[in-house]
Amino acid sequence: MQSRHALLLQAIAFAAEKHRHQRRKDPEASPYINHPIDLANVLVQEGRVRDTTVLIAAILHDTLEDTETTPDELAAMFGGEIRDIVMEVTDNKKLKKRKRKELQVKHGPHLTRKARLVKLADKICNLRDVARNPPARWPLKRQIEYFDWAKSVIDGMRGTHARLEELFDAVYAERPHARRWLRHAQPAVRGPHQRRALL
């Protein structure tokens, strides 16, 4: 029988293979595998989570949603519990994005604790990315909306893990300010000499 550490390494290799052609939305188009590794790192280094089942599920959390991986494939390689956690945090891509986001808010309080830990780490990492290296095509208004939606998801899971919730609140405090959005959304008033230069 494989050790849990060996299974964790197998999950990293599996996720790296499944996500090999995918990139994140940041301006540098970072390799997608960086994201699930970030989740596991947040859980271990910042959240002090030691449950390898949670860590493996974090590494695999996007494989069902964003690759051709099947639930049966996950169960065969990593066991039914890990498959079930990954399924809990997987959106149904057949639904419209607005509906998927509504369901994350609705279902959040009813996830198992292990799935909520993965979800907390996911939202922490995503907000950090949006705050510090936002997707190239995301206007400021969309960034603000993403922050507020993520908070709605996490607010329904409060009481899961105090340290991870503190980390989420800390990154939420980096939320882009509405006044900054207004500055970007509205053209600045220019003097006559500036207007002529733009003609």
Q: Which of 26, 46, 51, 65 is catalytic?
A: 65
Rounded distance, CA 32 to CA 52, Å?
21
User: Which residues, including other chains, have CB under 8 Å from residue 97's CB and lie 6 or more apart?
Assistant: none
Task: Reply yes or no on whether 91 is catalytic.
Answer: no
Distances (CA, A) of 4 to 28, 58, 73, 123: 34, 14, 18, 25
Collapsed DSSP state (helix, strand, coil) of residue 138: coil
Specify whether 88 is catalytic: no
Integer Cα distance of 156 and 151 in angstroms? 9
- SS3 assignment, position 187: coil
Which of 26, 46, 51, 66 is the catalytic position?
A: 66
Active site residues: 65-66
